Amino acid sequence: MKYLLLFLLSIALCREWKSTKEMVHYINKLRTTWRAKEYPTSSKPSLGAILDSPYNLPEKTTFQTETNDLPPSFDLRDAYPECSSLKEIRDQANCGSCWAFGAVEAMSDRICIKTKGKLQTRVSAQYLLTCCYSCGFGCNGGYPASAWYFWEENGIPSGGLYGDKNTCQPYFLPECDHHVKGSHGDCPATVNTPQCKDTCQDGYPVSLDEDKSYGVDSYSVRGENNIMKEIYENGSVEASFTVYNDFLTYKEGVYQHTTGSILGGHAIKIIGWGVTDEGVKYWICVNSWNDEWGENGLFRILKGENECGIESGVNAGNPKI
C-alpha cells in the first residue's frame, strides 16, 4: 500500500491538469500543509529568475551566531518595526523582473536595518532592470547573483512603486492582478524592457549619481542554518526557486510542491522563519505580485528540505553606509 501511494504521488507531481479548478480540488482534498484557490486561466505567471547562472557569488560560511542560539521563530518585521520597507509589497507586473525586485527589496531593508531606521531608502528596481546589462535580459529574465554584484560595483539610485514622486527612478508599470480577481485589472499581455536612463525623474532634487547607494560586498549563502544566521545577523536575503503550476494557486499555509509541471525560476525575499502548531517549519517569503495574492502578498514555504531549491539559491550583501 505504501509503495502504491508513493507511485500515485509521483504521477501527480508532474501531471498536466485539464483545468485549474480540477488541480485546486485535488490539492485541497489532500489536506497537506497548504490550501489552493482557483485563478483566472488567462493569467500569465510573472517570473524571471534564471536559475542556471553563468556567474556565482562567493559563498559565505562564517557567522557570529551559533545554530543553537537561533530562535525557533523570527520575523524581521517584529525585530525592526521602524523599517517600513519590511512591510511593503511591490509589484513587478507582467515583466520578468523578479530577479531585480527580490534584490532591491532586500537591499532596501538592509540599509534601514544597518542605520537603525535613519535611512528609509527604496532601492530602484527600475534602474537595476534597465541598466545592469550583465544581469541578463531585463523583462525576459535575469541572474539574481549579478544584481548584488552590480550594487557593489556600480551602485543603484532610489526608486519606489509606479507613480512615486519621491524617488529617483520609480518602477514603470502599475500594479495588476496576479492569479486573482483583484482590484487592479489584468496585467498587460506583453512588456518590453525600457531603455536605461542615467537621470532621475523630472523634479527630483539631486543627480542620479548623488542618489546612488552601494554595497560593500556580495555573496551567496547555502543551507538552512546558514540562511537563518544571515537573516538574523544582517537582514533580508534574496532567494530563487523553481516554480510549478500549483504555486500560482497558493492561498495560504506552508507551500510544498504537490502537483503540476515546471513553469520557470522565481526570485523573492525571505524575511524570517517559523514553525506551525503541527511542527511544520517554514520560511516567511515576500513575493512581488502585490498584496492581493497569497497571504497578503507573502507566502510560506517548507523549510529545511530545500523545497523547490529555495535553500540553494540565496544571495545577499551589506550596504555601504
The set of catalytic residues is: 98, 266, 287
Q: Which residues 6+ apart lie within 8 Å of 177 measured at CB?
A: 40, 43, 183, 184, 185, 186, 187, 292
Q: For 307, what's the count of Cα atoms within 13 Å in the CB-facing half-sphere?
A: 16
Contact call for residues 269 and 237 (beta carbons, < 8 A): yes
List phi, psi (to 5°) of 36. Answer: -115, 165
Give how far Cα 223 sits from Cα of 51, 151, 189, 257, 286, Å: 17, 24, 37, 19, 19
Q: What angle do CA 221, 133, 177 make, to 5 degrees?
A: 75
The alpha carbons of the chain give a radius of gyration, in whole angstroms, of 19
Q: Is 193 helix (H, G, I), strand (E, B) or coil?
A: coil
